[in-house]
Structure 1
Amino acid sequence: MTTRAGTPAQESDLIDVEALIKAYYDLKPDVSEPEQRVVFGTSGHRGSSLKTAFNEDHIAATTQAIVEYRTSQGITGPLFLGADTHALSAPARTTALEVLVANEVRVLVDEFDDFVPTPALSHAILRYNNAGNDDQADGIVVTPSHNPPADGGFKYNPPHGGPADSDATSWIANRANELIEGGLIEVKMAEPSAVETYDFRGHYVDDLENIIDVAAIKKAGVRIGADPLGGASVHYWQAIAERYELDLTVVNPDVDPTWRFMTLDWDEKIRMDPSSPSAMASVLAHKDEYDVLTGNDADADRHGIVTPDGGLMNPNHYLAVAIDYLYQHRDGWKSDAAIGKTLVSSSIIDKVAESLGRRLWEVPVGFKWFVPGLVDGSVGFGGEESAGASFLRFDGTVWTTDKDGILLALLASEIIAVTGKTPSQLYTELTEKFGDPVYQRVDAAASKAQKAKLGKLDGDAITATELAGDPITAKLTHAPGNDAAVGGLKVVTDKAWFAARPSGTEDVYKIYAESFVGEDHLRQVQEEAKKIVDAAIAD
């Protein structure tokens, strides 16, 4: 069977932008239908207006719920509001603004009416809250991240600047659904008049010299190609090039809500995932033209790193290199600043941490877990296997508490400038020291009941004592770093591990697995993982 993955999008793949926006205003959700309710995942509420999952009523109600939530929490400072390049982001931003203004919330929007990347919004919140003001700011970023063009997304960041925790999002979602069910009678809306502005881009770009050695990049003459993939970072990259006089080319400055310039992802959908070889195929065609080529998703919280010698790096590989480099080149960080990783990230990070003499802080999936450590400097770096990370400034203070794809992309250039080696070459050196792991994520079918059971599983439910011929050394349902429930299971041996988590959107569970032995061993781990999990969640 032939696949169109990695091939240019065709006219039939493109969304009808006019129909999408019309549906945003015309279709009214019925919250008795689960698919039409406000539901916050790990990164906000997402859905398509065409499926009555992201419509004006959703956004009006959710914004009103956020107003009520921030009042209950005593948050009285400004609310920073930004949006990415998805077609539904502009109308949703307008709806949110109408509700915020009617509720007399002090709102700050972009000074140049530009798109606002997620890290720039996080940076703005923290900048305000660390400036000694008597009140506290928070923010909303309108983005479904790397999701397809027909989707919209809406995310709340409280005063710590990172993703809201599940207590906050559950309250906001429940209240929003109540408001929709009540016919939006309690939702205030007004036409915005003069609204305050904020230079998200200027403040973010000017501050980069306090976290990235831009002088070294300039001196070394690193040739950088940056592809925003049609996302919110588009004008930021040009500003970075000009502000720091870098040899940096914005490979594709086009912004088009249909994303007609993208190549199709693995499932033949348009998806702005900078860690996907299929989605990045058009970018990879330029890999020999630059010392490093980078990509970002629509809200620039994810990164993709392309080198002439290695092509598109696996996100786990780059995280390991970034950690190894940073902890040897950041003298201003606390000597006991831990290395933060998610439970499903590569174990080569564990080996790097051990070699650096640093504590490994392993947490469940979700960047929100890194927020407290980044705020107080006890965690120097926090990274996810899905190509999202952030780290501290040179002086060990917080930069962002949300993922920053622009930052991690720039770090690749610093690494080249300082070491004279590409991140791909440095990863090869790590594998020569620690072994060369093989990592893959696959899906396995599961009913809703089975997924629910997996999400609440206890390690004692696993009776197996061996995995792929090796003794099981750990059965984890709580993360070692903070003892938080992982919403699934991780099983570990000395040579391999697997983790299983239920999907939030499909009738499957995800199996993440890694082997330090090889491909055949990984297949064996995956097969046995499925048997172990299926036995534990059998109806």
Structure 2
Amino acid sequence: MIRFGTDGWRAIIAREFNFDNVGRVARALSKYLLESNKRINGVVISYDTRFLSDQFALHFARVVASNNIPVVLSSKFTPTPVLSFAVKQLGLNAGVMVTASHNPYFYNGIKFKASYGGPVLDDFVQQIEKRIESIVAPIDEKRVRQNIQYLDLTKAYFEHLKKVLRVEVVEKFYDLLAYDAMHGCGIGFLQHFFEEFGLKAKYLRHEENPLFSRGRPEPIPENLLDLQTLVREQAMGLGLATDGDADRCAVIDDQGLFVELHDLMPLLARYLIKERKFPGDFVRTTSLHPTIDRLASTFNRRVKEVPVGFKNVTEQMLAENILIGGEESGGFGYGFHLPERDGILTVLLVLEMLAYYQVKISELVSELRQKFGPFFYLRKDISQQ
């Protein structure tokens, strides 16, 4: 049974997640797009570094193309936010990301992205589920040849981020930093910026490994021990990490300690308001500590609280003027960018903030807690089995 959760469809490879089922989902998407759109501009598809992700993406593309829908297929793996940006930038009907994000290596999955460059809402998913059939999707080789175009999605994304960032400020970041890609889609992407901006960095798990070193590509403290040790033992100024599809991130301070996301969101929000002069309110999921609410009141900004799931954040970002939206798991979206989590941009904004203030992030966290009070947080993941 193919069932979509809060962030797409995820299943065990070769059990539920196989080529036949991927084809069924692709056919269901094709039917829905053909039935609900007066104009078919096409679909863009990308994939992560997991086992067979590139082949699953190709099969998905072949099924969609067989339904006479134009397909832009990424020429290489990309972070999810790159795919989301491409949907909006290219003016297409939908985006498809083959990824299981932070799940164990034996999972894969599919995320849908809407034309606005963010997660699809509930009605879209329900329409796809209703159209999934038991028959295997047929392939029309002639239509495949006519309708699939390969494209490097990264170039436009890189140029966009350089317009969003204050590059001249980021270039002043003076500390040695470490980056843990967790064998995921961040490989090469942050390195591109670090090298262009002249930053000094060391890299961990910066090569493709579909087994993820037998771990999970989720940037939580227990999965970042090597990064914390490296920062502490080599007296680095900062540690950074992104998850499997690089839409979420984590920060390690100069003492080798994990920076809680409950601190990171208010720090970024304050910087974007005070120094970048951005307008807009905030939206957070229920799992984020209300430090952000206390900060908002000092700037006469509103905070909207929504249920867990970034699509709920996206819904508010589409409806209102939102500067920053966030969730406890490390995903932040920005109104001046996309209604979508972007771990790559968040990491670069952290660097910009630290370069602007010329301080360690531990100092900013200490100052924030002195002003708005401490908090106590413990996360416990409970298996459904």
Query: TM-score scaled to structure 2, two decimals?
Result: 0.92
Mapping 1:246-257, distance limit 5 Å: 246-257=199-210
Q: How many residues align?
A: 379
Contact 1:310 1:424 in 2 (8 A): no
Q: SS state of the match for residue 212, structure 2? A: coil
Hey, what does 1:122 align to over in structure 2? 84
CA deviation profile, 1:437-468 (whole Å, cap 9, x unmatched)? 11223468xxxxxxxxxxxxxxxxxxxxxxxx
1:387 to 2:337 alignment: no
Give the secondary structure class of the aligned counterpart of 2:117: coil
CA distance in 1, matches of 2:225, 2:380: 22
Of 193, 215, 231, the match for 2:145: 193
The secondary structure found in structure 1 opposite 2:23 is helix
**Distance (whole Å) between structure 2 residues aligned to residue 44 and residue 235 of structure 1:** 26
The change in CA–CA distance for 1:209 and 1:49 in structure 2 (over 3 A counts) is closer
Task: State the partner residue of 2:126.
Answer: 170
Deviation at 1:373, TM superposition (A): 4.7
Residues 72-221 of structure 1: matches in 2 within 5 Å? 72-74=35-37, 76-110=40-74, 113-129=75-91, 136-176=92-132, 179-180=133-134, 183-184=135-136, 187-191=137-141, 192-193=144-145, 195-221=148-174
Aligned to 2:216: 271
The aligned counterpart of 1:512 is none
Q: How far is 1:117 from its partner?
A: 0.8
Q: Distance in 2 between matches of 1:105 and 1:252?
A: 37
1:432 paired to 2:370: yes
Report Cα offsets for 1:148-201 as digits up to 9, x if no partner: 00001111112122111111112212321xx12xx33xx332344373133211
Aligned-residue identity in percent: 26
Q: Does 1:47 align with 2:3?
A: no
- Confirm or deny: 8 A CA contact 1:206 1:243 kept in the other structure: no
Q: What amino acid is the match of 2:102?
A: H
1:338 maps to amino acid: D
SS of equivalent to 2:157: helix
Which is greater in Rg? 1
Counterpart contact for 2:44–2:96, Cα < 8 Å: yes
- Find the partner of 1:318 among 258, 264, 267: 264
**Could you tell which deviates more after superposition, 377-386 or 194-203?**
194-203
Q: Offset of 1:229 from its aligned partner?
A: 0.9
Conservation of the 8 A alpha-carbon contact between 2:262 and 2:328: yes
Which consecutive residues of structure 1, in runs of 5 or more, have no partner in the other structure?
1-36, 130-135, 263-269, 394-398, 445-504, 508-539
State which of 296, 306, 317 in structure 2 corresponds to 1:363.
306
The Cα shift of 1:252 comes to 3.5
State whether residues 218 and 247 of structure 1, in contact with CA within 8 Å, keep that contact through their aligned partners in structure 2: no
The alignment's C-alpha RMSD in Å is 2.0
The answer for unaligned runs of 5 or more in structure 2 is: none
Is contact 2:87–2:94 with CA below 8 Å preserved after alignment?
A: yes
Secondary structure, aligned partner of 1:42? coil
How big is the shift at 1:375?
4.7
Matches of 1:305 and 1:235, distance apart in 2: 18
Deviation of 1:407 (Å):
1.0
CA distance in 1, matches of 2:173, 2:83: 31
Deviation at 1:310, TM superposition (A): 5.2
2:79/2:185 contact within 8 Å kept: yes
Q: More relative contact order in 1 or in 2 (CA 8 Å, sep 6+)?
A: 2
Name 2:289's counterpart in structure 1: 346
Cα distance, 1:241 vs structure 2 = 2.6
Corresponding residue number in structure 1 for 2:338? 400
